[in-house]
């Protein structure tokens, strides 16, 4: 990718995708190119880094600024909330594969299923709930994004009881 920007303000003026085999002159990239006020850079990907410099016609990615401890803590908090929401959805989906919603309602009404079936449904729902709470407690203890990524729920795969 080629980029043309103002030397003084660093404001982007023009961008264009490039081919690896073809090297373009500044005027071929941007017809109004002015070497006194503009600089041309080429990046090896068809995107621009968030922060970059241009050195000898090459776009160089700047190292990311270190996050503050407060920003890192907020990102971790958001990651945990997102992961908990995902696991909640997984829990409901996997439970529905074992026990469809209409069977939950029938068991809750009572008198529709025999006692053994009702107890299986109750035990399975309880096992899903306990695993969700176990996962949430482990997630709360996670100190890093890597810790969060390592956590996996272990929901029942068959009826309990």
Instruction: Quick: pLDDT tens for 21-41.
Output: 788 899 999 999 999 999 999
pLDDT at 121: 96
Average pLDDT, the chain: 93
3-state secondary structure of 2: strand
Cβ-based burial of 121 (10 A; exposed 0-12, middle 13-18, buried ≥19)? buried
Q: What percent of the chain has pLDDT over 90?
A: 78
pLDDT at 80: 96
Q: Report how far residue 91's alpha carbon sits from residue 87's, in angstroms, rounded to the nearest whole number.
A: 6
- Whole-prediction pTM value? 0.60
Q: Residue 154: pLDDT above 80?
A: yes
Cβ-based burial of 82 (10 A; exposed 0-12, middle 13-18, buried ≥19)? exposed
- Region 46-60: mean pLDDT is 90
Q: Residue 50: pLDDT above 90?
A: no
pLDDT at 147: 94
What's the Cα-to-Cα distance from 82 to each of 134, 136, 153, rounded to whole Å?
17, 12, 14
Instruction: Quick: pLDDT tens for 77-110.
Output: 999 999 999 999 999 999 999 999 999 999 999 8
Q: Residue 70: pLDDT above 80?
A: yes
- Region 112-116: mean pLDDT is 94
With beta carbons less than 8 A apart as the criterion, state whether 80 and 148 touch. yes
Beta bridge pairs of residue 38: 6
């Amino acid at each position: 990718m080629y980029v043309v920007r103002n030397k003084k303000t660093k404001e982007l003026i023009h961008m264009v995708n490039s081919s690896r085999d073809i090297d373009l002159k500044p005027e071929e990239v941007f017809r109004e190119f002015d070497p006194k006020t503009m600089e041309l850079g080429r990046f090896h990907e068809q995107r621009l880094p968030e922060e970059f410099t241009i050195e000898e016609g090459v776009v160089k990615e700047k190292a990311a600024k270190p996050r503050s401890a407060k920003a890192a803590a907020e990102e971790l908090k958001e990651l945990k909330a997102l992961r908990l929401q995902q696991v909640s959805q997984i829990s409901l989906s996997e439970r529905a594969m074992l026990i469809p919603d209409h069977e939950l309602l029938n068991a809750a009404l009572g008198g529709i299923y025999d006692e053994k079936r009702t107890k299986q449904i109750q035990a399975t729902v309880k096992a899903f709930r306990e695993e969700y709470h176990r996962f949430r407690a482990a997630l709360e203890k996670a100190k890093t994004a890597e810790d969060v990524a390592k956590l996996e729920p272990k929901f029942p795969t068959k009826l309990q009881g």
